[in-house]
Structure 1
């Protein structure tokens, strides 16, 4: 783990020391209006082998009765006693440029006390958006990545058998009309990580690549790009040219620490002011040895002669032979970690030291503890 930590930090430092890295702006943001839409629906899964909802779930019984009524069959909900059906919620994500007839992946989750959805089939269920309008219809056999079997109190279960999926199980009935061009006049590019420096660089890079003063950074997140009159008829080609413009984004100094796994990730340009770190170790161990004392001769018996249990305890104190001392002056996190490694400091102690350096005000970066 320590070698991997040092390797990651040194590679980050080497990357900063080398040539500046430029990436396409499409990898650091997106055009405003490009978003997925959540769809939700209520449905009924049938065909379960006695693992569906019990008779206590009135909603499931009512759903079965309502479904049968559509086929001219009148059944009272209280008369439904089947355990081969389950009430479920159906969810899907509608892409921003979905067209009628496109297929969507569907996730099905149980609502009642069904034990498993293995072998079930989803009956036709409408999927609605937040505005209450139906955009897709879902139906088909379920794919469950687990199972659950129980008998006489013995249960064998793998994964979550009450959650299933239907790849391509929904068909889009109503597409989404997205006007990303603000009426054909301009588009707005939105950064995934808002930053004033990066926004300004993106605007300058677009203007330089297209040869016109078209882009203007509105704030730390949005860059408004004016569409030339000659390019409005071919908006797709214009946006392709914009997305492939390369830029050098600015990066904030961050150190990410995961205490559960003992992982530290830092950029090579994270600076540390003058600081001295002293690290030592004191280990205290209490050991108890249990022994039995009994009479030497079996004939030695009496009311006061019996086997005794004796506990012998000792305290062992182990102190590290040398105390590690590291002095850092205007160095990076990678330099500090490399110095701590020379004095054989483990990863857990390095995490504690970095937190102490941040508390001392010497670590000039945002410390993120996961």
Structure 2
């Protein structure tokens, strides 16, 4: 049995998306280049607000223009903090170590609902050599600031019927909706709950605000038998993280995995003209490209393979997290994966 609170969300208490634009400063030379004009313009506008007039255009290599995203719950009050995500909109190499300057966050109606500021937490990293070679791990141009925005304005209440609330199932299921209706009917009597579809159950509630809160608090603790849910596999494309639930299994399938390696090497040669030819000495760049494909290994996954055997088989193939994502997507396309594949 599962508490009702774990299965549903109260209708009307939805999340509202906020968006904003700002500047991240304090970067170690990994910010936007000078050709990104809107970053320089934003920097100049900010300095003018502090009474600083520029004689020349500011160099922005330590500054990056970013977009800011956040979700504001309808029950969040002014003064509370919400998490934000910051993403580069220019050609910055990394946001690691940066600080977001004060920026407003707007709702879909154009009103300011929060202000964001703080130090970024970046999960990626990058390094670049003097010859232009570089290495990047995950995505260093996206970061988060836990509690990075302070709410200044609450979301207006919805105009829904105060005598009813909708319990929206987090994972739609006809079995779960039926079981919720039966559990609420057994506890509060007939006519209180009605299952409309696989994703919603309508519940009659008191119109008095105080009694309404007490009734909803009682609803949260009602034990409900959850219907069968399809297992899930969540793939995080930015970090290469793969999370699988315990009930994931595959139908009988053969999997082959091989790596294709492309190597490019460049060298500079000197072209010397013949004596008295009137030519000039020139530098010529030579590129050598080679491709090599590792010998693929094939393994057979029998019907009903458990999670442990799936992981062992993929490890035997030498699959990295990135390879694992590709293999799982291929199994899903082939119809051999009995799970919902979610990419975030």
- Contact 1:123 1:140 survives alignment (8 Å): yes
| Counterpart position of 1:36 | 15
| Counterpart position of 1:226 | 204
- Contact 1:257 1:367 survives alignment (8 Å): no
In structure 2, do the counterparts of structure 1 residues 232 and 116 end up closer, same or farther at CA, with 3 Å as the change threshold?
closer
C-alpha deviation, 1:34, in angstroms:
2.2
Q: Which moved more, 1:146-155 or 1:23-32?
A: 146-155
Question: Given the alignment of the two structures, is residue 49 of structure 1 paired with residue 22 of structure 2, yes or no?
Answer: no
In structure 2, do the counterparts of structure 1 residues 105 and 192 end up closer, same or farther at CA, with 3 Å as the change threshold?
closer
- Contact 2:39 2:60 survives alignment (8 Å): no
CA distance in 2, matches of 1:201, 1:141: 46
| Structure with a larger share of its residues in helix | 1
In structure 2, do the counterparts of structure 1 residues 179 and 233 end up closer, same or farther at CA, with 3 Å as the change threshold?
farther
Q: How does 1:220-299 map to 2 (within 5 A)?
A: 220-228=198-206, 232-251=209-228
Question: Given the alignment of the two structures, is residue 109 of structure 1 paired with residue 72 of structure 2, yes or no?
Answer: no
Match of 1:144 among 122, 144, 158: 122
CA offsets 1:245-301 (integer angstroms, 9 cap, x no match): 22223337x68899xx9x997699xxxxxxxx9x9xxxxxxxxxxxxxxxxxxxxxx
CA offsets 1:9-32 (integer angstroms, 9 cap, x no match): xxxxxxxxxxxxx32222222211
State TM-score, norm by structure 2.
0.63
| Counterpart position of 2:181 | 203
| Counterpart position of 2:328 | none
CA distance in 1, matches of 2:179, 2:92: 55
Instruction: Point out where structure 2 has 5 or more consecutive residues left out of the alignment.
Output: 235-241, 254-302, 315-330
- Contact 2:95 2:141 survives alignment (8 Å): yes
Q: Which moved more, 1:126-135 or 1:138-147?
A: 138-147
Report how many residues are paired: 260
In structure 2, do the counterparts of structure 1 residues 61 and 96 end up closer, same or farther at CA, with 3 Å as the change threshold?
same
| Counterpart position of 1:166 | 145
Superposition RMSD on alpha carbons, in Å?
A: 3.9
| Counterpart position of 2:69 | 91
Instruction: Point out where structure 1 has 5 or more consecutive residues left out of the alignment.
Output: 1-21, 269-276, 280-332, 349-354, 360-365
| Counterpart position of 1:216 | 194
State TM-score, norm by structure 1.
0.59
Question: Given the alignment of the two structures, is residue 120 of structure 1 paired with residue 98 of structure 2, yes or no?
Answer: yes
Q: Which moved more, 1:151-160 or 1:167-176?
A: 151-160
